[in-house]
Amino acid sequence: MDNELAKLKEILAEVDDLSRASALLGWDQQAYMPRGAAEARGQQQGTLDKLAHEKLTSPETGKLLASLEKSAKSWDADSDDAKLIKVTLKRYERGVKVPAEMVSEKAEITAMSSQSWQEARSKSEFPIFQPDMEKVLDWTQRYAQLFAPVEHPYDALLDEYEPGMKTSEVKAIFDGIRPKQVELIKSISGKPQVDDSMLHQHFPEKGQWDFGVDVVTAFGFDWERGRQDKVTHPFMTNLGYGDQRITTRVNENFYNTHLFGTMHEAGHALYEQGIPKELARTPLYNGTSLAVHESQSRMWENLVGRSKPFWSHFFPKLQAIFPEQLKKTSAEAFYKAINKVSPSFIRVEADEATYNLHIMLRLELEIDLLSGAVAVKDLPDVWDERFQAYIGVAPPDDARGVLQDVHWSFGLMGYFATYALGNLISAQLWEVIQRDIPTLDAQIGKGEFKSLLDWLHEKIHRHGAKYEPQELVQMVTGSKINGDAYIRYLQKKFGGIYSL
């Protein structure tokens, strides 16, 4: 048994190495690669992804897993090795249903589509991206069919990012919070609006960048094991133990874009930097799920970064960097400005009260695209129509509408629901954190985050991918994923800001 386990770990380490190498190529593609290299880069990533897939789904891996699954019945069910067998077996069973050629095909398609998306977004012209998006959708539909029969066709995609969760669960959760969020937004709309004009000034890039670096350093981001670069659409990628990279973008005429994007991606990286080295080069060296991952990024971005205690400490520092822009602004006015509730076009810049509506729209569109109810050529018009219905405003162009997110160009369908689920989990965790660390607000008000990060390392990060999302949330909070804590959080916060 020991020899079999060692052999399996050897295979999984090679699979992980290949996958991380492909991720490195993907990071470079977004950050530094010249546009003309897209085709070659797709072929390179396709080769690596195919090799990783073939190793994971080989007969040797299957034989080892079948034997070790029997042995694992006598092991501690929560041990790293027992969880490794369980998680790997699920990945294997999914993987053997997917032809290796489809894996490399996806890499080649998405290398080209991510480039056409960047061009289309910069020119605000969806037709530039449309042919590649059609290829992505065709691949996704064929991929989903490999897992039939399922309760809902979308389940095959969702399970890739939220292990064990069903589309019906997500819809039920969203149905429970949508009317409460809509009611909150309606109440806010009847109140005098917050003045956020101080955010719409010229803030030179260097000052923004340096302040963002100072903030995420205070959070605990380890620069010996990470770096930050500029891209079109921010993301974080884990390239292996000791190499967590964050990316960001800067808008010199709107302050929120850079800082909150930087805090968000740093939140993802803090999660990955907290996973023990012992889990490296295995399927456990990842976050539990994308929703749990998103709970970490949204927590640092919003529950910490948009909080009043945070700005009581950091606003004087920001004011010192931008004295002319902020000389007439108080910390209280700035706090209200960054939390202004107003219908907006860009998801990543949306306020907390309206953010989830952006996600519900995308979930609905993805389901309709998968089923064929919406054709790619009609996507811009359908997007604009439904955006008006959900958010209350019509996007003025494709760049601020259907082209604003990079995910579809990467073939990441089934992904968007995780963003809203992450919001809900963050609030569930926050209530437990505040109970366990009663002086948390005072610590944040001093710019101290060690206790918070230590709590997250202990309760969330150290487990890596050992548990499914519902298991982990239940274990830490006492209940499965639900919107109750998030609604309480929104009502308390915005009730104070808007005197509801």
Output the CA angle 250-255-257, nearest 5 degrees.
Answer: 50
Integer angstrom CA distances of residue 120 from 128, 129, 170, 233? 5, 6, 31, 13
- Cα–Cα distance measured from residue 365 to residue 417, given in angstroms and rounded to the nearest whole number: 11
- Cα–Cα distance measured from residue 162 to residue 168, given in angstroms and rounded to the nearest whole number: 13
DSSP 335-377: HHHHT-----S-GGG--HHHHHHHHHHHHHHHHHHHHTSS-GG
Beta strand pairing call for 244-248 and 226-230? parallel
Q: Which residues contact residue 137 at a Cβ distance below 8 angstroms, ignoring those fewer than 6 apart?
A: 369, 370, 376, 413
Cβ atoms of 491 and 184 within 8 Å: the answer is yes
Instruction: Report which of 441, 422, 181 is spatially closest to residue 304, judged by C-alpha positions.
Output: 441
Helix, strand, or coil here: 242?
Answer: coil
**Cα dihedral: 378, 409, 270, 440 (round 10):** -10
- Cα–Cα distance measured from residue 489 to residue 356, given in angstroms and rounded to the nearest whole number: 14
The one catalytic residue among 265, 364, 366, 468: 265
In 3-state terms the chain splits into helix, strand, coil percentages (rounded to 5) of 70, 5, 30
Q: Is 265 a catalytic residue?
A: yes
DSSP 437-475: -TTHHHHHTTT--HHHHHHHHHHTGGGTTSS-HHHHHHH
Any idea which residue has 């409460």 for tokens? Answer: 180
Q: Which residues contact residue 165 at a Cβ distance below 8 angstroms, ignoring those fewer than 6 apart?
A: 158, 159, 289, 469, 470
For the annotated catalytic residues, the residue numbers are 265
